[in-house]
Amino acid sequence: DTGVSQNPRHKITKRGQNVTFRCDPISEHNRLYWYRQTLGQGPEFLTYFQNEAQLEKSRLLSDRFSAERPKGSFSTLEIQRTEQGDSAMYLCASSKLRELFFGSGTQLSVL
């Protein structure tokens, strides 16, 4: 068990491009969460899955953001038509009960 794995670690993109991030949770965890963190702020909830079902999505989440967890294992987070305001650290976490285990995150920079 190597913990929650996120790829890539860093992504630099131009405004308007699409990006996709991947998260591999801890294998026996059925819940998977996406958070976003900017400098000086705590992690902000984006969405979460129980198995393959997306159970909650933040009302702050733009329609340009979509997440999937097709087989209840890994998850992808896609951002379409990126904007400079999307620059942030995107964190994935997984859990079996109520304790979340976090990955190292994907740092997105939109130029």
Partner 1 sequence: AQSVSQHNHHVILSEAASLELGCNYSYGGTVNLFWYVQYPGQHLQLLLKYFSGDPLVKGIKGFEAEFIKSKFSFNLRKPSVQWSDTAEYFCAVNAQGDKLIFGTGTRLQVFP
Give the binding site for partner 1 (CB under 8 A).
Answer: 3-4, 31, 33, 35, 40-45, 48, 50, 55-56, 91, 93, 95, 98-105
Least distance in Å: CB of 7 to partner 1?
A: 14
Least distance in Å: CB of 48 to partner 1?
A: 6
Per DSSP, the residues of 57-86 read: E-TT--TTEEEE-TTSS-EEEEE-S--GGG
Please state, in angstroms and rounded to a whole number, the distance separating the CA atoms of residues 44 and 94.
15
Do residues 94 and 38 touch, judged by C-beta distance below 8 A?
A: no
Least distance in Å: CB of 16 to partner 1?
A: 30
Q: Toward partner 1, which CB reaches closer, 32 or 82?
A: 32
